[in-house]
Amino acid sequence: MLIRNATLPDGRQRDVRVRGESIAEVGRDLDASDQHVIEATGKRLFPGMIDAHVHFRQPGYPHKETWESGSRSAAAGGVTTIVDQPNTDPPTIDGESFDQKAEFAADSVVDWGINGGVTADWIPNVLLRRRLFALGEVFLADSTGDMGIESDLFADALEAATDNDVPVTVHAEDADYFNDDAKARDDADAWSAFRTAKAEAEAVERACTVAKEHDATIHIAHTSTPEGVDIASEAEMTTEVTPHHLLLSRRDLSELGTFGRMNPPLRREKRRQKLYERVVDGTVDMIATDHAPHTREEKDASIWDAPSGVPGVETVLPLLLAEARDPDSGLTYERVRDLTARNPADVFDLPQKGAIEAGKDADLVLVDTTETSEISGAALHSKCDWTPFEGYDAVFPEWTMVRGAVVYERGDALDAADTTAQEDVFYDHQGENVRGADSERLE
Ligand SMILES: NC(=O)N[C@@H](CC(=O)O)C(=O)O
Ligand SMILES: [Zn+2]
Ligand SMILES: [Zn+2]
């Protein structure tokens, strides 16, 4: 198959030849005889996004999301690899729970990784020898699933993971710095007042210190403050930022209400802007969504009762591409590529992923950045039919390819001239564990 005359993120126009599961060749005027040709003139081709932080909810909460619905949502958003977090039921903390989740993951149309969690009951020697993507998110405070742990256990877990060459990702909040005064309030902003910016900064600082003591590196999940990013970056640790912390602030809570409750919470507009600057200037390593679906019914509760978390896997790349269209944002298409593909592949050691180069997996997304459309929760493919980005401008993929197989085609992109809405199409495809097949499991 030949994708002809696509514009790459750096602006070069190239043909891309896909053979089997891989990119065979990237060049100009490649021979197209005997080839299925996809015409891409005027369109941009991106490496598929690696979203290192999603919650697909199976086993345990299939009414919120399943591997099928979550991975379709990912594919429709141009995400070709996802990494699932351990706060499912049962939590992913031992061999059995890992294997059970891996069976659910067989429903995924995109490639995947499974993270392992740490609780008092975890079985490190077994868990760390599975084909684990990373240990994490290790919860330094309670979030959905109440998996918060004490400092001593964190240090032990870090040591065990590092001994087994397993990366560690950390949910860094410290409940000692939560502001109990906020509990007297019942407006949506009370959650942001409660889980303070200082609680994040302190936890990042402590986690980085423990990591240095153990000669280990850690990756800080969903950093929501410029302070947290700076502390981690000065300690030479890596960070991710979610689309909601990048684009939303406490100002938006009057509209979002309890649907805007997540951990860590939305911050003040000034902090959001400083976080954005760090995403633009390269201090932040990657964007990851923390896709945390909950139903409308669940979210429609008091601020102290609503579950924490917002969906995001389908809207993240479309939102970033819309940002990159605007030269004033400072975010370039190249930077978007780095934040969504190159850097996560680098940080988490996925040499086969993250770039449009000969020899890499053919994980590709074709977009038309000359136009935007408005995000509508009802049109998304997640079981979660709402989004905090309702009405935002976005650039959705025309199609998404995983290891050489087109897994998703947008209905209205099939025949642009025909405006009678056509159905989006998903093609059968079995996503694979990016850490290798089960049968190759190490002893
Ligand atoms: N971020 C959230 O607010 N919620 C996540 C858990 C987490 O990532 O902390 C969830 O699983 O619902
Ligand atoms: Zn978290
Ligand atoms: Zn999370």
Q: Which of 144, 222, 261, 313 to mutate to test the pocket of ligand 1 (most atoms within 8 A of CB)?
A: 144
- Say if CB 60 and CB 30 are below 8 A apart: no
C-alpha–C-alpha distance, residues 342 and 9, integer Å = 12
- Under DSSP, the state recorded for 440 is G
Q: What is the pLDDT of residue 352?
A: 98
Q: What is the pLDDT of residue 34?
A: 78
Identify the three-state secondary structure at position 28.
coil
C-alpha–C-alpha distance, residues 188 and 305, integer Å = 11
C-alpha–C-alpha distance, residues 376 and 370, integer Å = 20
Q: Calculate ∠ Cα 8-11-17, nearest 5°.
A: 30
Q: What is the pLDDT of residue 35?
A: 85
290 is catalytic: yes
Instruction: Provide φ and ψ at 208, rounded to 5°.
Output: -65, -40
Q: What is the pLDDT of residue 419?
A: 57
Name, in order, each residue with C-beta under 8 angstroms of 197's C-beta and a sequence gap of 6 or more: 224, 225, 227, 228, 267, 271
Q: Calculate ∠ Cα 372-334-134, nearest 5°.
A: 100
Q: What is the pLDDT of residue 247?
A: 99
The pTM for the full model equals 0.97
Spell out, as residue ranges, where the chain has pLDDT lower than 70.
414-421, 439-443
ipTM comes to 0.99
Annotated catalytic residue, options 290, 338, 361, 363: 290
Residues with CB under 6 A from ligand 1: 55, 87, 137, 143-144, 171, 262-263, 290, 292, 308-309
pLDDT over 70 percentage in the chain: 97
**Ligand 2: centre distance to CA 152 (Å):** 19
**Ligand 3: centre distance to CA 137 (Å):** 7
Question: How many CB atoms within 10 Å of residue 39?
Answer: 11
Radius of gyration from C-alpha coordinates of the chain: 21
Amino acid at 338: D
Q: What is the pLDDT of residue 439?
A: 57
Q: What is the pLDDT of residue 415?
A: 54
Tokens of 377: 């929760």
Q: What is the pLDDT of residue 443?
A: 40
**Ligand 3: centre distance to CA 91 (Å):** 13
For the chain, helix (H) and strand (E) counts, in that order, are: 15, 19
Annotated binding site for substrate: which residue ranges?
55-57, 87, 294
